[in-house]
Structure 1
Amino acid sequence: MTSYRFLVTAIDAAGHVNTVLRFSEGLKAAGHEVYFAHREKHRHLAVEGGFSFIPFDETLWKVNLDELMLRLFDLSVAKFRKDPVERLLEKYPNEEEADKLLSIYYDVVNQALDKIISDEIVKFDAIIVDFVSPSPPLYKSPIPWFPICSLNPLVLYPSGPPPFSGYSVNSDQSNWDEFRKIHRQAHSNLIETVNKDLDVAGLKQARFNPAKFVDSPQTIGFYHYPAALDYTECEPIEPGWCRIDSLIRQPDDDTDFVIPERLKDKPGKTIYFSLGSLASADLAMLQRFISILAKSPHKFIISKGARGDQLELTDNMWGENFVDQLKVMQVVDLVITHGGNNTFMETLYYGKPMIVFPYFNDQFDNAQRVVDKKIGFRVNPYDFNEYYFLDCIEKIFADEQIKNRVEAISQSMRNSNSLSEAVKMIEKQIGLKKASVH
């Protein structure tokens, strides 16, 4: 068997990083050599996965990426508490600055990637990327590249409900085109800014599309979603995209998560609560959640986020700023999540029902898919009713059908060989590429 050398990278967001790391595990299992390229703070992930690591040259950047993302979040937090249409229609004083920060974010990642690809010391046979905007270094390189879409796959189904709307496939379609129009208008400044950068890079054929937040494949690309939830009723899918049912990476070590002492003797079920790395920065909202969950008869493990030191937990809770989510998932009875695709997939993989509290982008679509497929509940931040929220928890524990449906999805994800098939498809494409140049 021919062994190839892969460069693997993603934008600096937990879900995207975790997805490409799992893909890397599949490449390694097939006998290939993997180089994970990212920020120095992620080196340990490469070491734990047994991959080579190439650090981004952050001296190229004039910004602190962590501070930039928190600043971007703070500029947008007011709109995140509104429904998807209202937040798009309303103009905010800091929107231009937010768009500029997002453009800078794309640019600095591409700078780092360009330096690695241009390095003649290490030659790569292919590149695996999980990006949300066209990348000039990829288009300019002769190395074949394969995109990963770790978003809800509605972005790949032109005939389905508009991505990021949270509309059901069964909803009134007369609203769909209007949402698409409003969404594009709301992102017009960002579109113009990013496309100007692409023009400067000589890439007039590549355009940024905020209705997708994923680039079209060069040949083939892969998205992460279980077959039981996929939008097959909205086919056809865009050309070149293939589904992988499960891209859940392995835990960092073999130790189990132990329920903390302060919770061991508490009554009720054990529930994991996480709003992800960005939404958890909304401290006012998170503290409100905590005060409501204090009224529940159950116990909670809380992922508090980067600003978690400012939160006060109640007696029926334990939490840390960052918890080992892959291990926590395995010992809880229910997950309350923002619906980011990575946490969404992990919850399903470990067979846990969920309540989704969507905050932005594809989280709305995942939340609605939970409702449409009857595997949990959706609670919206813009019409939040604490009694409904607490009742959803009790309804899930009382509904055996929800538990059975989730368990069936979990088993199908665990039994799928779609990752190994995806690796074979890439191997074939690399072989064809090499044959064409000889």
Structure 2
Amino acid sequence: MSDPTTQLTVLFMPESAHGPTNQCIGIGKVLLDRGHKVVFAAERSWEGKLAPLGFVEALVDLAPPDPGATDEAAGQFWIDFINETSPEFRKPTLEQLASFVQPTYQALIDGARYAEPQLKAIIEEHRPDVLVEDNVVAFPALVTSGAPFVRIVSCNPLEIRGPGIAPVFSGYAAADPSGWEPFLAEFDRTHQETWEAFNAWVQEQGAPPLPARDFVHTSEVANLYVFPEELDYTDARPLGATWHRMDSSLRETDAEWEMPDSFAARPEGAALIYLSLGSLGGADIELLQRLIDVLGTTEHRVVVSMGPRADEIRLTANMVGDAIVPQTKIIPQVDLVITHGGNNTTTESLHFGKPMIVLPLFWDQYDNAQRVDETGYGVRLSTYGFTDDELLGAVERLLADTELRARAAATGEAIRSRGGLRVGADVIERVGLDHVRGRG
């Protein structure tokens, strides 16, 4: 696919969260290795983290800069966010539409509005041949530049709406559609005014109207989504020819991880488990500490991604961990993953053929948890309602299920053979090369 005579300039605009940015880093590194220039119009908190990987940092602010802000202050923002918001995660997903999902969309919209002139200036400076957006709200500058844009969906693909599938953010079962219409009606009730105002502003910037219920454009040229075929919904909701599935998007930039000698020499029957609630969920230290304490009663060895409040977490004797760990190097070595159900962790776990216990916190994590459970690759537990016996029982059941472990391993091998990272890079590269050749 790569044309050694043509160097493209590819601009990525990922959501500021770790999941979308990390998966864009994965694709971007492939394009970089092919000789293309890769520009990241990422949120400013990524400053200094992308350039060492070879990318051009063209960062944007999503709100007025705070002159007194520091890295510590940025980290404290997310700690405060989880502390203030975590009570919402205990509500049914239907109730979260008004109290969490709509305010989150509004905050993202405010960021898009603020970033628009900055993004236009970045595009004017770098003149990208193809623009890539991995976000859940539109940035009009990406679709009005004159160059083609590619959309990436790095959340659960229920975000690509259609008949025959459960509503995104609901966590509802595929086999029981009874709650689907009431959920969509409540989504419309709580989001319609926000959508109408944003849609009007998007068109004022010269961009096309937004699709109904969607806050982001779909590309007419090419769209990507990150989700394994084995979990996908395409049997119930087929997708058009512009959509391309990346079964996984495994970044290749994580540092190596060496298993401690005590873990390698663990007693017979003791498994190795990876525990992570993600970059945000880890700030809910009451939940994380409870999981640690319960798992601390077992003979298993546990690697813990401790999150932004790591200094407040007490690991037990059978554990090691750090605030940030090289997840893609750890998962291949473990027997089981206990996760919040973020799309990166879900797809990475299945990429390596690992069963999961999923305790969702917010957004599409409910959908991933439900899909893992109903396809038989793991167990969904009530995040704040599980009992100690439920968690421990799920751990032992999944570890003892040799049929599941063999099926998961075979699925992981199939996913790895499909090379999702390079599928995504190929699509973006083709779009860019077609544009350059057409221009010439």
Map 1:77-88; keep pairs closer than 5 Å: 77-88=86-97
The answer (yes or no) to whether the contact 1:340–1:362 under 8 Å persists in 2 is yes
Per the normalisation by structure 2, the TM-score is 0.86
Residues 259 and 184 from structure 1, CA distance in 2 versus in 1: closer, same or farther, beyond 3 angstroms? farther
Map 1:25-174; keep pairs closer than 5 Å: 25-39=29-43, 42=46, 45-47=49-51, 49=53, 51-58=54-61, 61-63=64-66, 66=75, 68-88=77-97, 101-119=107-125, 122-159=126-163, 160-171=165-176, 173-174=177-178
The answer (yes or no) to whether the contact 1:6–1:125 under 8 Å persists in 2 is yes
Inter-partner Cα distance in structure 1 for 2:62 and 2:366: 37
Query: Displacement of 1:303 after TM fit?
Result: 1.1
Inter-partner Cα distance in structure 2 for 1:21 and 1:96: 28
Residues 316 and 107 from structure 1, CA distance in 2 versus in 1: closer, same or farther, beyond 3 angstroms? farther
Residues 244 and 378 from structure 1, CA distance in 2 versus in 1: closer, same or farther, beyond 3 angstroms? same
The answer (yes or no) to whether the contact 2:63–2:111 under 8 Å persists in 1 is no
Inter-partner Cα distance in structure 2 for 1:18 and 1:399: 32
Post-superposition CA distance 1:184-210 (Å, at most 9, x none): 33345653664465366454723684x
Q: Secondary structure at the match of 2:136?
A: coil
The answer (yes or no) to whether the contact 2:377–2:408 under 8 Å persists in 1 is yes
Map 1:129-278; keep pairs closer than 5 Å: 129-159=133-163, 160-171=165-176, 173-188=177-192, 190-191=194-195, 194-195=198-199, 197-198=201-202, 201=205, 203=207, 205-206=209-210, 209=213, 214-237=216-239, 240-253=242-255, 255-259=256-260, 268-278=270-280
Comparing 321-330 and 66-75, the one that deviates more: 66-75
Q: Where does residue 12 of structure 1 map in the other structure?
A: 16
Inter-partner Cα distance in structure 2 for 1:95 and 1:232: 25
Instruction: Pick from 387, 390, 401 the counterpart of residue 388 of structure 1.
Output: 390
The answer (yes or no) to whether the contact 2:62–2:111 under 8 Å persists in 1 is no
Q: RMSD across aligned C-alpha pairs, in angstroms?
A: 3.0
Q: Where does residue 372 of structure 1 map in the other structure?
A: 374
Inter-partner Cα distance in structure 2 for 1:344 and 1:104: 29
Comparing 231-240 and 129-138, the one that deviates more: 231-240
Inter-partner Cα distance in structure 2 for 1:421 and 1:204: 28
Q: Where does residue 321 of structure 1 map in the other structure?
A: 323
Query: Displacement of 1:249 after TM fit?
Result: 0.9
The answer (yes or no) to whether the contact 1:195–1:208 under 8 Å persists in 2 is no
Residues 372 and 138 from structure 1, CA distance in 2 versus in 1: closer, same or farther, beyond 3 angstroms? same
Residues 39 and 99 from structure 1, CA distance in 2 versus in 1: closer, same or farther, beyond 3 angstroms? closer
Residues 307 and 421 from structure 1, CA distance in 2 versus in 1: closer, same or farther, beyond 3 angstroms? closer
The answer (yes or no) to whether the contact 1:338–1:357 under 8 Å persists in 2 is yes
Aligned length: 428
Residues 216 and 158 from structure 1, CA distance in 2 versus in 1: closer, same or farther, beyond 3 angstroms? same
Per the normalisation by structure 1, the TM-score is 0.87
Inter-partner Cα distance in structure 2 for 1:396 and 1:30: 41
Q: Secondary structure at the match of 1:408?
A: helix
* Letter of the structure 2 residue corresponding to residue 36 of structure 1: F
Map 1:350-365; keep pairs closer than 5 Å: 350-365=352-367
The answer (yes or no) to whether the contact 1:24–1:34 under 8 Å persists in 2 is yes
Q: Where does residue 301 of structure 2 map in the other structure?
A: 299
Q: Secondary structure at the match of 1:148?
A: strand
Query: Displacement of 1:219 after TM fit?
Result: 1.6
Inter-partner Cα distance in structure 2 for 1:199 and 1:68: 32
Query: Displacement of 1:15 after TM fit?
Result: 0.9
Query: Displacement of 1:419 after TM fit?
Result: 4.5
Map 1:321-360; keep pairs closer than 5 Å: 321-360=323-362
Query: Displacement of 1:366 after TM fit?
Result: 1.1
Inter-partner Cα distance in structure 1 for 2:113 and 2:76: 16
The answer (yes or no) to whether the contact 1:272–1:334 under 8 Å persists in 2 is yes
Query: Displacement of 1:307 after TM fit?
Result: 1.6
Q: Secondary structure at the match of 2:65?
A: coil
Residues 111 and 309 from structure 1, CA distance in 2 versus in 1: closer, same or farther, beyond 3 angstroms? farther
Residues 292 and 20 from structure 1, CA distance in 2 versus in 1: closer, same or farther, beyond 3 angstroms? same
Inter-partner Cα distance in structure 2 for 1:52 and 1:388: 45
Q: Secondary structure at the match of 1:233?
A: coil
Inter-partner Cα distance in structure 1 for 2:416 and 2:105: 39
* Letter of the structure 1 residue corresponding to residue 406 of structure 2: N
Map 1:416-427; keep pairs closer than 5 Å: 416-427=418-429
Residues 95 and 412 from structure 1, CA distance in 2 versus in 1: closer, same or farther, beyond 3 angstroms? closer
The answer (yes or no) to whether the contact 2:8–2:433 under 8 Å persists in 1 is no
Identity %: 30
Inter-partner Cα distance in structure 2 for 1:29 and 1:412: 25
Q: Secondary structure at the match of 1:258?
A: coil
Inter-partner Cα distance in structure 2 for 1:424 and 1:95: 33
Query: Displacement of 1:224 after TM fit?
Result: 0.8
